[in-house]
Amino acid sequence: MPRRFLVRLPAPARRADPAGDRAARPVTGFPAWPSSADGLVELYPRNPAPTLRVNFIASADGAVTVDGLSGGLHGPGDKEIFDSLRMVCDALVVAAGTVRAENYDALRLTPAAREWRLAHGLPEFPLMVIVSGSLNLDPDQLVFSDAPIRPIVVTTTRADPSALTGVADVIVAGDDQVDCAAAVRELHARGATQLLSEGGPQLFGALLDADLVDELCLTVSPLLVGGGPGRISSGAVTDPRPMSLRHVLTLENMLFLRYTRQGT
């Protein structure tokens, strides 16, 4: 592992953050990029308790897309963290709109990632979970047609799942809209306790509204995009949730931040 140094961040005296001025939870900065895949796993680990981790990228001025897609924000190091987070999760949870817009293909990992999972007692592939209230999905899209294991689609009682027969397992959670808390409980019941969400913003907002988000892994791209694109979460206004900064990692001009719930 690379040499480490500790950075103490100030915190309000009446609401001192364990990751700030208390010695038990310092923020750890890494002056050099991890030299191995295991180094990234140490930075973004599987957790002992059930965890819902959200991974997003945004520009330096807060834009979530360039020309409607997140690909224009990517840079050095982003793909390595993206792949590592997928490798260590039990299930990848993504909204149908993101699956369509970003043209998701099957959730297939590299041979090295699959070997890592098997060596750590995990199934060879994580579950692919798509959240869709309307079931406006194409069963011929590669995320279904080339899937190594059958994806799960979370929807409502009002949607007709017949078009997905044979290509997806369907979880019904909610009537008028998807009940995210019920969906998470069902995934836990199926043994998927380490959940990773890649959005989109509306799903992130719904997860925040249900108070389900335990971690945010945020990549800041060194771009100024200007007005137009939205932010990484959208939807209902919720009470602000204080988070603890667990680490700061950089590669070239990219910035990688990991936040967790305070007290975890």
pLDDT digits 0-9 by tens, 160-205: 999 999 999 999 999 999 999 999 999 999 999 999 999 899 999 9
Whether residue 163 lies inside any domain: the answer is: yes
- Pick from 7-11, 154-158, 231-235: least confident: 7-11
Whether residue 4 lies inside any domain: the answer is: no
Q: Does the pLDDT at position 5 exceed 80?
A: no
Per-residue HEC secondary structure of 150-213 comes to: CCEEEECCCCCHHHHCCCCEEEECCCCCCCHHHHHHHHHHCCCCEEEECCCHHHHHHHHHCCCC
Whether residue 71 lies inside any domain: the answer is: no
Structural domain that includes position 88 = 29-36+50-58+84-255
Q: What is the pLDDT of residues 239-257, one digit of tens each?
A: 899 999 999 999 999 999 9
Whether residue 156 lies inside any domain: the answer is: yes
Q: Does the pLDDT at position 143 exceed 80?
A: yes
Whether residue 69 lies inside any domain: the answer is: no
Whether residue 231 lies inside any domain: the answer is: yes
Report the domain count for the chain: 1
Whether residue 72 lies inside any domain: the answer is: no
Tokens 């199926």, located at residue: 190
Cβ-Cβ contacts under 8 Å for 163 (sequence gap 6 or more): 135, 137, 139
Distance separating alpha carbons of residues 43 and 65, to the nearest angstrom: 26
Q: Give the residue-averaged pLDDT of 36-62.
A: 95
**Residue 87 pLDDT grade (very low, low, confident, very high; cuts 50, 70, 90):** very high
Q: Give the residue-averaged pLDDT of 139-165.
A: 97
Whether residue 174 lies inside any domain: the answer is: yes
* CATH, residue 96: 3.40.430.10
